[in-house]
Structure 1
Amino acid sequence: MLPTFTQFAATLDDFVPLLLHGVWITLQLALLSLLLGLVFGLLGAGAKLSGCRAWRFCAQLYTTLIRGVPDLLLMLLIFYGAQTGLSRLTQELGWAYIEIDPFSAGVLTLGFIYGAYFTETFRGALLAVPRGQFQAAKALGMTFSQAFVHVIFPQMMRFALPGLGNNWMVLLKATALVSIIGLADLIKVAQVAGKSSQQVLAFLLMAASVYLLLSSVSSLALRWLARRYCGGVQESSR
């Protein structure tokens, strides 16, 4: 028999702190993974566009392998593989056992995975920026870093934002994968609360509503970023 709204509300009061903690863990995981993924993406895009064949090969291998293997399998391989390798290393060196915590493993894994997708996004965006922009910045006496920050990056973001926005939405939902390695994220605590109260469906629907809310807020933030980086272009095209 399905629980009434009153019964679910009464049960929910007992699990509010646990659920809020799960939401907070999910947000931290998503944002830190995004930052790490952006770093991997910029480095990967730079490697793919570099004049060094070895760098291009490594970047191509990285994106091909990551995009060709399911995220769930990568999560398990990286978490358990890294833990096994670290355990053997500490045993060989005679060090104390070191355990990788699920949160750090989740951030590193998701950042590494989605860095491959960001690599392709940034690569396409950099190719869309006219090469003359960088040459003009150099002619004005800017260093490479100054030219990238003040000239190339704002124009690149205009082309990269649609792809980055889509990848962010997928990354936000992919945080649910960390529940399989023991991290108490939103999905994990919703499952625990549902099993404890025998209202699994109600708590999972509530978790889905939270993800929908986070996605809606993300859409508003992405629209604001699009207006910021594309405002001048939109005004000039009128």
Structure 2
Amino acid sequence: LIGGVPDLLVIYLLFFGGSMAAMAVARVFGYEEYIEIDAFAIGTIALGTISGAYATEVIRGAVLAVPKGQIEAAKACGMSRFLLFRRIMVPQVARFALPGLGNVWQLTLKDTSLISIVGLVEIMRQASVASGSTQKPFTFYLAAGVLYLVLTAFSNKGFGLAELWANRGVRRA
């Protein structure tokens, strides 16, 4: 459901509907005052919900990619469910899921720019404010672009190292 709607719509629904939902729940308990939810909390929940939906699909695909024969062999060897999970499932799911989770992380990192709509100051919002006050938009938007590139490059390097770790001992074709 979350993957099928635009990310901006999820942010709007949580920002505008979150306070209304909190007030509706509070009315049940007799509280009649206005409740405002912090923009940072809304941004965190919105981005977590969006990226969580995509990450869930990545992990689901990785779990389904583990060969059934290996699970059956582990059971035949007498492994407990916990041991099977720790020694068979986790290493292989990590190997299959890390590239997709890296993509989800890169998208989430870029989606943080959408949070400026709810008044939260982040990289793009700060660049917009700075360019408006100095009348030099190219400088500040270029700096924001470079900052995003640095963040994605470091993230990409980190996920690359994690993939190397997860693929250790796997034969290359």
Preserved contact between residue 91 and residue 97 of structure 1 (Cα < 8 Å): no
Deviation at 1:140, TM superposition (A): 4.9
From 88, 107, 129, the equivalent of 2:44 is: 107
From 126, 141, 149, the equivalent of 2:86 is: 149
Report the residue type matching 1:77 in the other structure.
L
Deviation at 1:69, TM superposition (A): 0.8
Aligned length: 172
Quote the Cα distance in structure 1 between the aligned partners of 2:15 and 2:76.
48
Report the residue type matching 1:177 in the other structure.
L
Deviation at 1:187, TM superposition (A): 1.4
TM-score (normalised: structure 2): 0.88
Q: Does 1:88 align with 2:24?
A: yes
* RMSD (Å), alpha carbons: 1.9
Quote the Cα distance in structure 1 between the aligned partners of 2:82 and 2:151.
34
Q: Secondary structure at the match of 2:168?
A: helix
From 68, 71, 90, the equivalent of 2:4 is: 68
Larger proportion of helix: 1
Identify unmatched segments of 5+ residues in structure 1: 1-64
Mapping of residues 1-238 of structure 1, within 5 Å: 65-95=1-31, 96-233=33-170, 236-237=171-172
Q: Deviations over 1:181-227 (max 9, x none)?
A: 11111111221222222223311111111000111111111110111
User: Identity over the aligned pairs, expressed in percent?
Assistant: 45
Q: Deviations over 1:85-117 (max 9, x none)?
A: 112332443335432111121111111112221
TM-score (normalised: structure 1): 0.66
Deviation at 1:141, TM superposition (A): 4.9
